[in-house]
Amino acid sequence: MFRNITIGQYIPGDSVVHKLDPRIKIIITFIFIVAIFFINKLSGYIFAVLYLYLVIAISKTPFSYILKGLRPVIIILLLTVSLNMFFTPGGTVLYTLGPLKVTTSGLRLAVFMGLRLIFLIIGTSLLTLTTSPISLTDGIEHILKPFSRIGVPAHELAMMMTIALRFIPTLIEETEKIMKAQMARGADFESGNIVKRAKGLVPLLVPLFISAFRRADELAVAMESRCYRGGQNRTRMKQLKIQPRDYEALAVTLIMVLLIVWNRVWTW
């Protein structure tokens, strides 16, 4: 029942996209997001679509996984689209429904916001689908490192993320186990009204919290007994190194950006 969460779910693979340096991948994703918000004509999205298609094709990511990533944000998407559609003033009125008016500029904005959100989610889920959580946090740590001079705890943040990610599957497994154990004692998690269901969660949540705290304690002891004391002077086994393929990926991304800029500035 918990197995259909895709945001942040990595599919192992060994395509070029999978092998890219996580720092470059994060930067590329960032550039991509800025670019899709820079587009101001529908024709500009052709380049974004082509670019995404290229990434999906090279990484061989099953399209169904990408669609699954879109499912949880459908409500936000619908909300954004309808807010923009009904509450943007200006332009000619196309349709009136009581106090709500659909104008040309509203429709235009709605379409753009919708497309932007969809591309944003596809782009970021491609990042998480092709990058293992560990290398992702590694990349984030490196990118944040320059900011540690101004007090950003880059290493600590990355360590917290790594631990959190590491324990998601463990906690899911634990939840399933405790649920089953309580179901074997006749607990019912599925029927009844909200109050009854919320009460029914107590036998699940209490043991889950206890075991989470126990695990946290054990982990802290294990880390301290191996002399962990934060990020200072820590070396790593796997050093991140920029490869030629990283420059190539960056180049392809820049071409896409240039095409989008060209589309915005010189065509109409």
Partner 1 sequence: MPIKVENLSFVYNEGTPYATVALNNVTFEIQDEEFVGIIGHTGSGKSTLIQHLNGLLKPTSGKIYINGVDITDKKVSLKDIRKEVGLVFQYPEYQLFEETIFKDIAFGPTNLGLSEEEIEKRVYEAMDIVGISRELADKSPFEVSGGQKRRIAIAGILAMKPRILILDEPTAGLDPKGREEILNKIKEIHDKYKMITILVSHSMEDIARFADKIIVMNKGRIEIIGTPREVFREAEKLEKMGLGVPQITSLARELQKKGVTIPEDILTIEEAKEYIIRYLRGTKNV
The footprint of partner 1 (CB under 8 A) covers 3, 11, 177-178, 180-188, 202-203, 206-207, 210-211
Q: Which is nearer to partner 1, 76 or 205 (CB)?
A: 205
Distance CA 264, CA 268 (A): 7
Closer to partner 1 by Cβ: residue 4 or 193: 4
Minimum CB separation of residue 265 from partner 1 in Å reads 44
- Closest contact distance (angstroms) between CB of 187 and partner 1 is 6
Nearer to partner 1, 185 or 241 (CB): 185
Minimum CB distance to partner 1 smaller for 41 or for 197:
197
Cβ proximity to partner 1: between 166 and 177 the closer is 177
What's the rounded Cα separation, in Å, for the pair 159 and 187?
37
| Tokens coding 198 | 């919320």
Of 6, 39, 246, nearest in space to 125 by CA: 6
Residue 202 C-beta: closest distance to partner 1, Å: 7
CB of residue 180 to partner 1, shortest distance in Å = 5
Q: Any idea how long the chain is?
A: 268
Instruction: Quote the DSSP letter at residue 241.
Output: -
241 neighbors 138 (Cβ within 8 angstroms): no
**Residue among 168, 129, 122 at smallest CA distance from 11:** 129
Main-chain phi, psi angles of 168, to 5 degrees: -60, -55
Task: Find the shortest distance in angstroms from Cβ 206 to partner 1.
Answer: 4
